[in-house]
Amino acid sequence: MLIAKKILPLVCLGLLPGLALAQRPAPKTDFHQWAATPPMGWNSWDCYGPTVTEAEVKANADYMAKHLKASGWEYVVVDIRWYVGNDTAHGYNEKDPDWNLDQYGRFVPAPNRFPSAAGGQGFKPLADYLHRQGLKFGIHIMRGVPVQAVQRRLPIKGTQLTAADIYTKEGSAAGCTTCTRWWPTARARRSITTRCLSCTPAGGSIL
């Protein structure tokens, strides 16, 4: 007991500096130091437009990982219309586009262009491939509900509604055949308890 009484104060004293340090506010840094460089990476649009394939993404990612990653290059982004199986290199195929959606009206990668996405795998296998090389994976995705989901009246997962019940043409780009604005009707607001996954913010997403 005597030994314990002698040791306990020493142990407590040893902990106090650490506790005091943990309570100190984080040092403030000048905002110019928050991002020393812009996001550095590769985007499929610049060379492939809306037609890039999984093999082409991997080839460019392999080069980046081997030759550029050490200098800070880390983003690999698949740009627009990865969900269309028959787009053209110099413009969108608006004549007979091969849209790929799941049963709930959400875009999925075209399996003829991204074979690893088949069987409901989505982009996870490709993302895993890039992550193993220490890279970050991004995709371009439009906000709103896919027009095709509205036209086909596809169901919204977890609800009794369809895509046609929750959209409006107000604010949508004229002639846009990809996505329309998501704006719940009164009925939808009463019925939807979780946000529809196809209604995403504008721009891209980094995985």
Per-residue tokens: 95: 């004549």
pLDDT band at 153 (very low <50, low <70, confident <90, very high): very high
3-60 confidence digits (pLDDT tens):
444 434 433 434 444 444 456 666 677 888 888 889 999 999 999 999 999 999 999 9
**Whole-number pLDDT of residue 43:** 97
Q: Phi and psi for 113 in degrees, rounded to 5?
A: -100, -30
**Whole-number pLDDT of residue 31:** 82
Residues 6+ apart with CB under 8 A from 167: 144, 145, 150, 180, 181, 182, 183
Question: Region 115-119: what's the mean pLDDT?
Answer: 97
Contact 194, 158 (CB under 8 A): yes
CA distances (Å), origin 12, targets 3, 15, 51, 120:
15, 5, 64, 56
183-202 confidence digits (pLDDT tens):
444 444 444 433 333 333 33
CA distances (Å), origin 199, targets 112, 147, 156, 162, 194:
25, 12, 11, 13, 11
Question: Looking at per-residue confidence, does 12 or 171 come out higher?
Answer: 171
Domain ranges of the chain: 37-206
**Whole-number pLDDT of residue 201:** 34
Question: Looking at per-residue confidence, does 160 or 36 come out higher?
Answer: 160
Share of the chain above pLDDT 90, in %: 54
- The CATH label, of 3.40.50.12780, 3.40.710.10, 3.40.50.720, 3.20.20.70, for the domain at 37-206 is 3.20.20.70
Question: Region 112-131: what's the mean pLDDT?
Answer: 98
**Whole-number pLDDT of residue 100:** 97
Q: Phi and psi for 109 in degrees, rounded to 5?
A: -60, 140
**Whole-number pLDDT of residue 193:** 36
Checking if the pLDDT of 64 tops 70, the result is: yes
